[in-house]
A = this chain, B = another copy of it.
Amino acid sequence: MFSPRPIGYARSPYQNTQQVPKGLGAKHDAEGILEILPEFETGLTDIEGFSHLIVLWVFDRAEGFELLGTPPTDNRPHGVFATRSPRRPNPIGLTVVELLRRDGTRLHVRGIDMLDGTPLLDIKPYLSGIPQEKLRRGWLAEAETRKGS
């Protein structure tokens, strides 16, 4: 395996998890900054050309993991690998953000949902999506149907 190291930190409007929009219909349009450490700045070369980025980060305020849990989007328990729960065997979070602009080591982005100060692990260009008509969303679609949303 490897020893995770932060490549930078998230600057976000959220100081605690209660402030992060969750659940059905949650909007993730908060703006924030991915502050990359100066030693990794060269790795950002040409990133401006991408409209969306995949950000991997650490759930650094989650403790332990839970294989079965009830997410805020449902009242039934689901396996951790079928949810976005923070309490995972490897506490890695994933967020797709829109890149608004780059200012040196600071990436201004929209769609941030991590807490302020969250350590960042990686940034990858977002290249393509699965066409909507080929996508099945499992229990989440069922939960939405039950709630009539």
Residues of A near any B CB (own CB < 8 A):
1-7, 36, 40, 42-54, 56, 58, 60, 67-68, 77-84, 88-92, 94, 96, 119, 121-132, 134-142
Contacts and interface: CB of A to CB of B under 8 A. Distances in A.
Contacts of A136: 49-52
Nearest to A111: B130
Given A50-B137, A83-B125, A137-B125, A130 B42 contact: no
A7 B132 contact: no
Contact of A40 (B89, B96, B138, B140): B89
21 contacts: A1-B4, A1-B119, A2-B90, A4-B90, A7-B81, A45-B78, A45-B82, A47-B138, A49-B136, A49-B139, A51-B134, A52-B135, A52-B136, A56-B92, A81-B122, A81-B123, A81-B125, A82-B125, A94-B94, A94-B124, A126-B135
B82 A46 contact: yes
Nearest to A137: B127
A75 to B, nearest CB: 14
B58 A43 contact: no
